[in-house]
Structure 1
Amino acid sequence: MAVYTEVSFEEANQFLQSLALGTLQSMEGCSGGIENTNYFVTTDQGAYVLTLFERLSAEQLPFYLRLMKHLAHHGIPVPDPAANRDGDVLHHLNGKPAAVVNRLRGKSELRPDAAHCTLVGSMLARMHLAGRDYSMQQPNLRALPWWNETVPVVLPFLEPAQAALLQSELAYQNHVATQSAYGALPQGAIHADLFRDNVMFEVAADAAHTPALTGFFDFYFAGNDAWLFDIAVCLNDWCIDLETGATDAERTAAFLDAYTAVRPLKAQERTLLPAMARAGALRFWLSRLWDLHLPREASMLKAHDPSHFERVLRQRIQHPLTLPVVETTESLAA
């Protein structure tokens, strides 16, 4: 959500009016991420997010935008891309592919408790099931092939102990990917980046201040992959101690209980949860190393700290995240 491509107030106003979204009243650049140019825009018709895509191509983008449309149609609270008069949801602005989505209500919860994790786990399972009949296909672009390509690029910037850990974990993940259980993992469209800052909540006015989940957003890392990888990414952010990377047992149990109440895990998923937790930590340690050491110029750019996910990975290796194997007909079904 850095600003790489500047958009003037008048340019944004004309663009929004072309989509019949009203007259622009205010706009503000977003500084919360590093992949795309994002602006919060408000018109006389509502609040929206205007995105210009800096890395993803016009050929890749329909997968993400149509996935959001599909999920919204199936009752999952996600941003719904605005279409033009021809029904297209992918547009162009200032030479870049662009999209506009409605802005979700509420705010992110950066210090979640078990109640928040319960809501996220349940909604993630619902999202996975809702995406089963989504017809478009696109691989997770930050999966194992990208790790194999990127590790050699970042190795020269690392201390020997870090380099050894990165190479060892990459070898381990390549080994896991050859196992029959890995090939049998249930798959579909995944978010792949469902961190605390990509979920919105509102708090009820009751005495208990009960949270309500109002939406998932930022689907621009989504792809077809194992649902278990999506679970692992969430567990590595929602259910850990941020300072140490250690597992928070209460939040982990809340998340997994809520998820499995909607979609029970298969036997292969229970077996490979420790490996996928490591894979999720590796993926984000690697991408943060890449962004830190090979940055792009951008207004308001804030690179994330890679050492955080190095700590998470070490915790996942030293203290594997495991579940009891449940030998039932349902869990053994392919």
Structure 2
Amino acid sequence: MAVYTEVSEAEAGALMRALGLGTLTSLRGIEGGIENTNYFASTDQGEWVLTLFERLNHAQLPFYLHLMKHLAQHGVPVPEPQAKIDGTPIPPGEDDILHTVCGKPAAVVNRLRGKSELQPGVAHCAAVGDMLARAHLAARDYPLRQPNLRGLPWWNETVPVVLPYLDAPQSALIRTELAYQNHIAAGSAYAALPRGAVHADLFRDNVMFAGTAEQPELSGFFDYYFAGVDTWLFDLAVTLNDWAIDLSTGQGDPARTAALLNAYTAVRPLTDAERRLLPAMARAGALRFWISRLWDFHLPREASMLKPHDPGHFERVLSARVAEPLLP
């Protein structure tokens, strides 16, 4: 989340009225993240989040927005895209929940209650594992298809671009791991992994909690704009690589790992192929985010609010996952 495109109150207010969401009372840019322009928008009828999409185009966005609508309708707490008032003309390229602001594709969703938990305990991890499994099962019959745009083909394209910024040990690690992941992806065990629409970016700052630290209530998953069709195991591994990791060292935390995995498998048990490949997918998840953070750090786009993440964190996570494989 950042601000690349400045939106005036007049422009935001016009969209709120077109969606039947009342009169705009305040508009505030959201710091953090890297992909889209985001604002908190308050009206006399509620609290909303306005997103302008900086990389995704109108043709790509229905997959993400309608996935969120689908999950919301199947009991998964996610921000629900708001639709135009019945009878409103829909311009070319838009649909009922996809709009245009400042020439950019845009969406408005309800603002989730609670806050992100950046220092999660075992109870938070258990709640995330349980809901992630439910989200995977809820998306089984989601009809739209779009690949994970930050999957293996993107890694193969992007590693040569970031290599000039790496020292010799880093270059060796990233080259070796990319070769390993290409080998894994070519195998029969990988082909057998169950898959569907996944979040692919379920970090601590993309989940909201209400309740207390001792009895947290998971109030929502959000920021589905990296979603795509991929293996459920990859999505689980990405989640474990953030929620069950010591941020200072990149090492796995056994108690939080067990809490998240046990809660997930209580809802959706892992297949034999998934249990076999969990260590490899934990490495894949670390590689994916090391590559993307290198890309964003060394080849940044301009934004009025932008705090690039440290690429070294996921280098450490990857090294830790290689040295100590994550076992189910």
- Interval of TM-score (by shorter of Structure 1 and Structure 2): over 0.9
2:192 aligns to what?
184
Corresponding residue for 2:91?
none
Distance across 1 between alignment mates of 2:203 and 2:33? 12
> How far apart are the structure 1 equivalents of 2:210 and 2:188?
42
**3-state SS of the aligned residue for 2:235?**
helix
Q: Tell me the amino acid that sits aligned with residue 34 of structure 1.
A: I
* Partner deviation per Cα, 1:91-145 (whole Å, 9 max, x = no partner): 0010000000000000000000000000000000000000000000000000000
Gaps of 5+ in 1: 324-334
Aligned to 1:92, the other structure's residue is in SS state: strand
Match of 2:98?
Answer: 90
C-alpha displacement of 1:268: 0.3
Deviates most, 187-196 or 24-33: 24-33
Partner secondary structure for residue 27 of structure 2: strand
- Name the SS for the 2:283 alignment partner: helix
**SS, match of residue 224 in structure 1:** strand
Equivalent residues in 2 for 1:173-212 (5 A)? 173-204=181-212, 209-212=214-217
TM-score (norm: length of structure 2): 0.96
Matched, 1:74 2:79: no
Q: Look up the match of 1:269.
A: 274
Structure 2 residue 31 is the aligned partner of structure 1 residue 31: yes
1:149 aligns with 157
Query: Residue 319 of structure 1 aligns with which residue?
Result: 324
Tell me if 1:51 matches 2:56: no
The one-character-per-residue Cα deviations of 1:150-169 (angstroms, maximum 9, x if unpaired) are 00000011111111111110
SS at 1:115's partner residue?
helix
Counterpart position of 1:60: 60
Task: Tell me, yes or no, if the aligned pair for 2:123 and 2:214 is still in contact at 8 Å.
Answer: no
Asked if 1:304 is matched to 2:309, the reply is yes
Q: Give the deviation of 1:14 after TM superposition.
A: 1.1
The residue number in structure 2 matching 1:330 is none
Q: Deviations over 1:281-314 (max 9, x none)?
A: 0000000000011110000111000000000000
Letter in 2 for 1:40: F
Q: CA deviation at 1:85?
A: 2.8
Report what 2:140 is aligned to: 132
Cα displacement (A) at 1:209: 4.0
Which of 295, 300, 315 in structure 2 is aligned with 1:295? Answer: 300
Q: Per-residue deviation at 1:10?
A: 1.3
Give the match's secondary structure for 1:300: coil
Residue pairs, 1:116-131, within 5 angstroms: 116-131=124-139
CA positional deviation for 1:15: 1.3
> What corresponds to 1:285 in structure 2?
290
- 2:5 maps to 5
- Distance in 2 (alpha carbons) for counterparts of 1:82 and 1:58: 16
Offset, 1:90 = 0.4
What's the counterpart of residue 244 of structure 2?
Answer: 239
| Structure 1 residue ranges, 4+ long, deviating more than 6 angstroms after superposition | none
Q: Select the residue among 231, 242, 258 that pairs with 1:253.
A: 258
Aligned to 2:89: none
Partner of 1:18: 18
Query: What does the per-residue CA deviation read over 1:72-102, in whole Å, with 9 as the maximum and x for residues that have no partner?
Result: 0001000000011356110001000000000
5+ residue gaps, structure 2, are 87-94
After TM superposition, the score normalised by the length of structure 1 is: 0.95
User: Among 200, 223, 235, which residue is 1:218 paired with?
Assistant: 223
Which one of the candidate residues 169, 179, 189 is aligned to 1:161? 169
Counterpart CA distance in 2 for 1:93 and 1:247 is 42
**Counterpart AA for 2:25:** Q
Residue 166 of structure 1 aligns with an amino acid whose one-letter code is I
Counterparts of 1:9 and 1:57, CA distance in 2: 23
Letter in 2 for 1:254: A
Task: Report the 3-state secondary structure (helix = DSSP H, G, I; strand = E; otherwise coil) of the residue aligned with 1:243.
Answer: coil
Mean CA deviation greater in 85-94 or 75-84: 85-94
CA distance in structure 1 between the aligned counterparts of 2:275 and 2:230, rounded to whole angstroms: 16
% identical aligned pairs: 71
Letter matched to residue 144 of structure 2 = M
Q: Distance in 2 between matches of 1:28 and 1:203?
A: 26
